[in-house]
Structure 1
C-alpha cells in the first residue's frame, strides 16, 4: 500500500470513529400524538432524551414540560415533575404544572398597568389580580411545532401568536419557546417574543419539582435550597410586592447558604410566611439581569442525591412551595398532591413590575425582541 493510500485509509478510520463517537453521544427528539384539546385539536408530545438516562417530555398544549425522568445517585430513574399522565388533564384540570406562562408570569396587582400614558385592564383570575397572563394565558393555548433536531443537543421549537388585545394586553406578540437537552444534563429553555407595538412580556416555566420523585411521601420540603440573593421583595396580603427590597439576613428567607426548606415554611412569627401560607416570594438575585444564564437557585435532595441547578438571565426567581395544593388535584399515578409536595423555582422579572418603577421593566418594543434563557441542570451527589 502506498503512503498516499495509507494516509487516506487512516483519515477514513478517523472520520468513521468520530462519526461513531458522535452518534453514541447524540441526544434524540421523538414526536408522538398525546391527546386532544376541548376543541378536538390534536395535542402532540416531543420527548428529548440523552444517553445518560435523562429525558424531558414536552406537550404542545401550553408548551408544557410534562415529565423529567432523572437518575438518582444509584442510577435509578424517576419522574421528578408534578403533573398529569394524560394531556387532556392539563386541559380539563389546569394548575400551571410545568407550563409556559405568559404574557406576564406572576401577578399584576388589580390586573392594571399603564404604558405610554394609556391604561390597560387585564382579565382577572387570582381574585383581584391577573396571574400568569390572565384567564387564558399562554398555558391554555395549543402551540405549533416549528422544528426539531437530534444531535449532541436535541431540541424542539414551539410557537404561538397572541393577537393585539389578548387578555387586555396591547400589541400582537409572536412568541417561541425552544427546549434543548444536551449530554451534560442541561435542559435549556429559551423564550423569545416579538411585538408590533409597545407591550409587556415576562415568560418563564412553571415546573414544580420533587427530586425524590413526584408523589413521594417525603414531599419536597426536606430538600436543601440555595438562592444567591441578599434581598427579596415582600408582599401585601394580596401577594403583590410592596415595592421594597428587604434584606434576607436574620430571616427565614436567607438561603444564601444551603438550608432545608422545612426549617422556615411553618414559621407563623413571620408575616410574610403567613401571607404566602408558606414560601411564595420573589428573590432579587445578586447577579441582576444578565446576558448569559447564571445561577438563580440550587436544590438538593439528600435522600436520592439528585441536584437541580436553575440558571437564568432574569433578575428574579419566584420560590413557591406548592401552598395551594390541597389534595383536590389527582396527579400522575393517581397521586393526590398536597401542600409541600413540590417546589417551583421560576426565573422572571419581578411580580407587578409594570407598576413598580424601581423594578426592572418588562417593556418590549417593536424591533427589540424579548429574550429569556433559563436552564434546568441535573446532576447527583453521593
Structure 2
C-alpha cells in the first residue's frame, strides 16, 4: 500500500432545521458563529477558549452545522426523494452533552490516531511510547485527551467553507512531536461534504485522522439502520482479537458476512454465527479498500425510507464500518430528547489501518519532519 505522506499533493457542514440560519458569506479573518438564539446551547468557553457553532449552506439548501469543540458535525441536512431536508447525523442539542464521560465521539474529528492501538503502546525509531488507555487495555481514537475533546481555532472562509486548526504539543496523550493540524470542511453545491486534512510535525510521530459521524439516512432518531443497503469496495478485511485489535492478517471477504461487494442490507448477515461478529457485537471492522484514489466511491449506503444515498470517496486505504453496536438508547439526550438505540446509526471512518504502528505489513502511519500529511474524504448525498 502506498504511503500518503508527501511534501506536496495537489489533491484537490448544516443548520438545525429550526434553530439555525446560515452564517454570513464572504471572506473573514475571524470565524462568525450562527446568531439564532438556540445556538447559545453550543456557545460557551472551554479551557479559556471560545466555543461556537458554525453553519455552512449551499445553493440547494443543504446545510451542515459544526462546533469547533472537537470539530464536531452537529447536524447535516440533505434533501430526500421528496426534497424534504432530513438530518442524517446523530448528535446532541447542547455542547454540555458532548462533554459527558462515555460520549461516543458523535461527529468528532479523531486524532492523533483514529481507531485502536493495541495495549496503548508502539515503538518508533527505537523508543517505546505509552499512550492513554481508554478502551480496556487499548487506546481508542487518540486516548482520553484526543482531538475530539479539543477546542479548535476556527475561520469561516465563506458560506460553504470552514477551516479548523489545532496544535497538539509534544507528549500530548503520550504521542511524540508537536503536530500542527488543519482540517477544512467544504459543503459543495452537489450536496457533498468534503473534509481535507493536513498536518506537519517537528519530530517523528504517528498520525491517522478521520471523522466519526454517525449516520442514519432514514433520519437521525430513527430506530434502525439494519434496513439500509450497503456496498463496500473491498475484497479483504482485517480480522480482530477479542479486544478488537487487528491480528495482522488480511482475510478475504468472499463467502463471509463481510462481503459487501454487492449491495445487501446491513442487517442481512449481522447476526450470523461468526466469531468476528461476536467480538464486535456486529460490524466494527476495518475493510482493506480495493480502490482509493478519491475518484470513485469506496462505499455506498441507501435508505429505503428516504431514498437518500450516501457515497464515500477517499484516498485512504482503509474504511472502518461500525454498525452502532454499543449504542444503548438508555439516555434520552439526543436531539429533541430522542434516544439512540442499539444499531440506530452507522459509521464509515476513512483511515489507515488500526494498530498499524505495531504491524509492519500495514501501510505506515509514520510522519517525519519535513513531510506533510495530507488526505481527503468526501461524503456525498444523492437521491
Q: Kindly report which structure 2 residues correspond to 1:302-381, keeping only aligned pairs within 5 A, or say none.
A: 302-329=304-331, 330-380=333-383
**Which ranges of structure 1 fall in alignment gaps of 5 or more residues?**
1-26
| Residue 359 of structure 1: how far off its partner (Å) | 0.5
Deviation at 1:338, TM superposition (A): 1.4
* Contact 1:91/1:140, CA 8 A, preserved across alignment: yes
Q: Which residue of the other structure, out of 34, 42, 53, is the alignment partner of 2:61?
A: 53
Q: CA deviation at 1:326?
A: 1.1
Q: Distance in 1 between matches of 2:350 and 2:370?
A: 24
1:28 offset after TM fit, Å? 4.9
In structure 2, what is the equivalent of residue 221 of structure 1? Answer: 226
Corresponding residue SS for 1:67: strand
Higher helix content, 1 or 2: 1
Does residue 179 of structure 2 align to residue 163 of structure 1?
no
Does residue 103 of the first structure (1) align with residue 148 of the second (2)? no
Question: Secondary structure of the residue that 1:378 maps to in structure 2?
Answer: strand
* Residue of 85, 95, 116 corresponding to 2:125: 116
1:106 & 1:264 partners in 2: Cα distance? 24
Whether the 8 Å contact between 1:293 and 1:373 is mirrored in structure 2 is no
Aligned in 2, Cα 1:183/1:28: closer, same or farther, shift over 3 Å?
farther
Partners of 1:37 and 1:111 lie apart in 2 by 31
Q: Matched residues in 2 for 1:61 and 1:294: separation?
A: 31
Q: 5+ unaligned residues in a row in structure 2: which ranges?
A: 1-23, 27-31, 35-39
Give, in whole Å, the separation in 1 of the partners of 2:169 and 2:330.
Answer: 34
> SS of the residue aligned with 1:253?
coil
Give the whole-Å Cα distance in 2 for the aligned partners of 1:265 and 1:209. Answer: 18
Q: CA deviation at 1:147?
A: 4.3
Give the alignment's Cα RMSD to 1 decimal.
1.6
Q: CA deviation at 1:136?
A: 1.1
- TM-score, length of structure 1 as denominator length: 0.88
Contact kept in structure 1, 2:46 and 2:151, CA below 8 Å: no
The match for 1:149 among 143, 149, 158 is 158
More relative contact order, 1 or 2 (CA 8 Å, 6+ apart): 2
Displacement of 1:328: 2.8
1:127 aligns with 2:136: yes
1:37 CA drift (Å): 4.5
* CA deviation after TM superposition for structure 1 residue 146, in Å: 3.4
Q: Relative to 1, partners in 2 of residues 1:96 and 1:37: Cα closer, same or farther, differing over 3 Å?
A: farther
Return the alpha-carbon distance in structure 2 between the equivalents of residues 305 and 187 of structure 1: 18
- Could you tell me whether the CA contact under 8 Å between 2:78 and 2:191 is conserved in 1? no
The correspondence of residues 279-318 of structure 1 with structure 2, limited to 5 A, is 279-288=283-292, 290=293, 292=294, 294-318=296-320
Structure 1 residue 38, shift from structure 2 partner: 4.8
Partner of residue 258, structure 2: 253
Q: Which has the higher strand share?
A: 1
Give the length in aligned residue pairs: 348
Contact residue 293 and residue 375 of structure 1 kept, 8 A = no
Task: Give the Cα–Cα distance (whole angstroms) in 2 for the partners of residues 37 and 242 of structure 1.
Answer: 42
1:370 & 1:184 partners in 2: Cα distance? Answer: 27
